[in-house]
Amino acid sequence: MPPFRFKLQPVLDQREREEREAQLALAQLELQRAEIERAIRNHQLNIEREQRELVAALGAGSGPVDLGSAKLQSNSAMRNRFDAQRRVLELHGLMERIGAARNALAQAATRRKAVETLREKQRQEHFNRESTREARDLDDLSVMRFARPNPNGLEIDR
């Protein structure tokens, strides 16, 4: 039986490359998402730490309060809030791009699967065609063997 050769293999190879590229693009966006989420967590931890320090500085109760230090502490906490909010907005935009990248990956996978399905269908047709041809060839050989006269002149049980 001759081997099966899929004529659209270059198309399938291209579809597989497109799917891998879509996977890589999504993975890069997911890495960016993880980085932004880590930065937001760090900002939140800093805000909480600075608030505790501000409360401690204002509520010490023993002696005068250093308003300059409290103001610096408050400004630092506000800056961290601003940075955290900016990162949340970045995360929102990134999540939209991740959604689009997931859709692109799903479409690439669907396109690849369509060509793979065609390949499997053609492979099965090739196998069926070759099996039929081999069976026909065997039948022809059997008929020719039966029709051939016996060279020894002996009767063969048929």
Question: Which amino acid is present at 153?
Answer: G
Residue 139 within any structural domain of the chain: no
83: confidence class by pLDDT, cuts 50, 70, 90: very high
Q: Give the rounded distance of the alpha carbon of 116 from its chain centre.
A: 17
Residue 103 within any structural domain of the chain: yes
What 8-state DSSP symbol labels residue 63?
S
**Lowest-confidence region among 12-16, 43-47, 116-120:** 43-47
Residue 121 within any structural domain of the chain: no
In this predicted structure, the answer to whether residue 18 has a pLDDT above a threshold of 90 is yes
Residue 122 within any structural domain of the chain: no
Residue 143 within any structural domain of the chain: no
CA distances, 96 to each of 58, 101, 108, 123 (Å): 43, 9, 18, 41
Residue 125 within any structural domain of the chain: no
Residue 31 within any structural domain of the chain: yes
The total of structural domains in the chain comes to 1
Residue 43: name the closest of 72, 30, 92, 35 by CA.
35
* Domain that residue 31 falls in: 9-116
Q: pTM score, two decimals?
A: 0.71
